[in-house]
Amino acid sequence: MPIPSFVDTVTLQVTGGRGGHGCASVKREKFKPLGGPDGGNGGNGGSVILRVDPSVTTLVDYHRHAHRKAGHGQPGKGNYQDGGNGSDLVLAVPDGTVVVDVSTGAVLADLVGSGAELTVAAGGRGGLGNEALATAARKAPGFALLGEDGEDRRIRLELKILADIGLVGFPSAGKSSLIAAISRARPEIADYPFTTLVPNLGVVRAGDFVFTAADVPGLIPGAAEGRGLGHDFLRHIERCQGIVHVIDCATWEPGRDPSGDLDALEAELAAYGGLEDRPRLVVLNKVDIPDARDLADIVLPDLRERGLDVYLVSTKTGEGLKKLVFAMAQLVAEHRAVQPPPAPARIALAPPAADGPDFTVRQEKDDAGQPIWRVRGSKPERWVKQTDFANGEAVGYLADRLNRLGVESELLALGAGPGDTVAIGGADAVLFDFAPQVDIGAELLSRRGDDNRLQQLRPAARRRRAKDAEFQARREAERAVGQALDGYDPGLSEGEADEAEPDG
Site residues for ligand GTP per CB under 6 A: 169, 171-177, 189-191, 193-196, 215, 217-218, 285-286, 288-289, 314-316
Residue 245 contact among ligand GTP, Mg ion, none, beta carbon within 5 to 8 Å by kind: none
Nearest to 229 by CA among 268, 177, 190: 268
**Please, which residue, 186 or 479, has the CB nearer to ligand GTP?**
186
Strands (DSSP E) contained in 62-199 are 67-69, 89-93, 97-101, 107-111, 117-121, 152-159, 165-169
Output the CA torsion sign for 127, 132, 134, 135: negative
Residue 286 contact among Mg ion, ligand GTP, none, beta carbon within 5 to 8 Å by kind: ligand GTP
* C-alpha to C-alpha distance for 154 and 323, rounded to whole angstroms: 47
Interface map 178-197 toward Mg ion (x if CB under 5 A)? -----------------xx-
The Cα-based distances of 149 to 17, 121, 124, 431 in angstroms read: 7, 11, 5, 19
Backbone angles phi, psi at 166, to 5 degrees: -110, 130
* C-alpha to C-alpha distance for 447 and 92, rounded to whole angstroms: 49
Least Cβ distance, residue 314 to ligand GTP (angstroms): 4
**Please, which residue, 13 or 195, has the CB nearer to Mg ion?**
195
Beta bridge partners of 318: none
**Please, which residue, 218 or 380, has the CB nearer to ligand GTP?**
218
What does the DSSP 8-state code read for residue 425?
A: S
The residues near 181 (Cβ < 8 Å, ≥ 6 apart) are 315, 318, 321
The tally of CA atoms less than 13 A away on the side-chain side of residue 82 is 12
Tell me, by CB under 5 A, how many residues bind Mg ion. 3
What does the DSSP 8-state code read for residue 485?
A: S
Residue 488 contact among Mg ion, ligand GTP, none, beta carbon within 5 to 8 Å by kind: none
**Please, which residue, 324 or 375, has the CB nearer to ligand GTP?**
324
Least Cβ distance, residue 325 to ligand GTP (angstroms): 15
Near Mg ion in 157-176, by CB under 5 A: 176
**Please, which residue, 91 or 185, has the CB nearer to Mg ion?**
185
Least Cβ distance, residue 282 to Mg ion (angstroms): 18
Nearest to 288 by CA among 324, 313, 260: 313
**Please, which residue, 217 or 380, has the CB nearer to ligand GTP?**
217
Crossing angle of helices 392-405 and 378-385, rounded to 10°:
170
Residue 381 contact among ligand GTP, Mg ion, none, beta carbon within 5 to 8 Å by kind: none
Least Cβ distance, residue 357 to ligand GTP (angstroms): 56
The Cα-based distances of 161 to 38, 112, 379 in angstroms read: 55, 11, 41
Residue 172 contact among Mg ion, ligand GTP, none, beta carbon within 5 to 8 Å by kind: ligand GTP
**Please, which residue, 191 or 355, has the CB nearer to Mg ion?**
191
Report the Cα 326 to chain-centroid distance in Å: 44
* C-alpha to C-alpha distance for 4 and 314, rounded to whole angstroms: 30
Least Cβ distance, residue 218 to ligand GTP (angstroms): 3
Residue 285 contact among Mg ion, ligand GTP, none, beta carbon within 5 to 8 Å by kind: ligand GTP
**Please, which residue, 133 or 179, has the CB nearer to ligand GTP?**
179
Least Cβ distance, residue 318 to ligand GTP (angstroms): 9
Contact status, residue 7 vs residue 111, Cβ threshold 8 Å: no
Beta bridge partners of 310: 282
Least Cβ distance, residue 8 to ligand GTP (angstroms): 15
Residue 258 contact among ligand GTP, Mg ion, none, beta carbon within 5 to 8 Å by kind: none
Least Cβ distance, residue 146 to Mg ion (angstroms): 56
Least Cβ distance, residue 173 to Mg ion (angstroms): 9
* C-alpha to C-alpha distance for 387 and 396, rounded to whole angstroms: 10
Least Cβ distance, residue 198 to ligand GTP (angstroms): 10
Q: Is 87 in the site for Mg ion (CB under 5 A)?
A: no
Residue 169 contact among ligand GTP, Mg ion, none, beta carbon within 5 to 8 Å by kind: ligand GTP
Positions in the binding site for Mg ion (CB under 5 A): 176, 195-196
